[in-house]
Chain A
Amino acid sequence: ETGVTQSPTHLIKTRGQQVTLRCSSQSGHNTVSWYQQALGQGPQFIFQYYREEENGRGNFPPRFSGLQFPNYSSELNVNALELDDSALYLCASSLAGEDTQYFGPGTRLTVL
């Protein structure tokens, strides 16, 4: 059984650019959730994907968007990057209908 993996590990972008982060869910898991964790804070829910559709969204603007693929992997896209987007972006996978979420190691995004 493989765990949740994310790529890249680190990323540096400048304000106004666009970024794509990737996540492979744990084997057998069909639901992916994305969280943003600012330094010294708890993770904040961005959105969740199930069956390739968004299934719930947190308080994030539309420039945060996502995709889920038939193999359950997922992408998080952020357009028009702002300095406050600098954070650790976490992906969590789970089985639909079950509460337990397993997190990946995260992608550290720095916006200059």
Chain B
Amino acid sequence: QQQVKQSPQSLIVQKGGISIINCAYENTAFDYFPWYQQFPGKGPALLIAIRPDVSEKKEGRFTISFNKSAKQFSLHIMDSQPGDSATYFCAASGGSNYKLTFGKGTLLTVNP
């Protein structure tokens, strides 16, 4: 059972455009929702994270929107740059051991 569903699988955006990646979760015990960025051959790097008590969080060009009733959250990358080209993973955790459950990832390509 996939507990975190991520879409789209791949995304192509022009430089300066907005990239939007969506995730949906099933487990209502989840209470922490991070996004990670991963470049080829590297480990995932934490971008931004949100908790269910807020509906939006912004850090620089990255914004998370959170809809608790729909059990959905999304990552918006404003003014997308070629250097943003990477694989993005949403994740969720909740409970005593804080294990992260990841989506399958979105390969973002930003064309110059």
A residues apposed to B, CB below 8 Å: 4, 31, 33, 35, 40-45, 48, 55-56, 58, 90, 92, 94, 98-106, 108
Interface residue? B99 (CB, 8 A): yes
Complex partner residue of B105 from A41, A90, A100, A101, CB under 8 angstroms: A41
Contact A94 B98 (CB under 8 A): yes
Q: Is B96's CB under 8 angstroms from A56's CB?
A: yes
Q: What is the interface of chain B, defined by CB distance below 8 A to chain A?
A: 6, 32, 34, 36, 41-46, 49, 89, 91, 93, 96-105
**CB within 8 Å for A56 and B99 given contacts A42-B104, A42-B105, A43-B44:** yes
What are 22 A-B contacts with C-beta separation under 8 Å?
A4-B43, A35-B100, A42-B89, A42-B91, A42-B102, A43-B102, A45-B101, A90-B43, A92-B100, A98-B98, A99-B34, A101-B46, A101-B98, A101-B100, A102-B46, A103-B36, A103-B43, A103-B46, A105-B42, A105-B43, A106-B43, A108-B41
Can you name the residue of chain A whose Cβ is closest to the Cβ of B93? A99
Q: Distance (Å) between the CB of A23 and the closest chain B CB? A: 11
State in angstroms the CA–CA spacing of A92 and B93 once bound together. 14
Whether B102 and A44, one on each chain, are in contact in the complex, defined by CB atoms closer than 8 angstroms, is yes
Tally of contacts, chain A with chain B, CB under 8 A = 62
Q: How far is the CA of A44 from the CA of B89 in the complex (A)?
A: 12
Point out the residues of chain A lying under 8 angstroms from B41, CB to CB: 105, 108
Chain B residue at minimal CB-CB distance from A50: B97
CA distance A58 to B99 in the complex (A): 9
**Whole-angstrom distance between the alpha carbons of A94 and B36 in the complex?**
15
Contacts of A45 in B (CB 8 A): 99-101
| Most-contacted residue by chain A among B36, B44, B96 (CB, 10 A) | B44
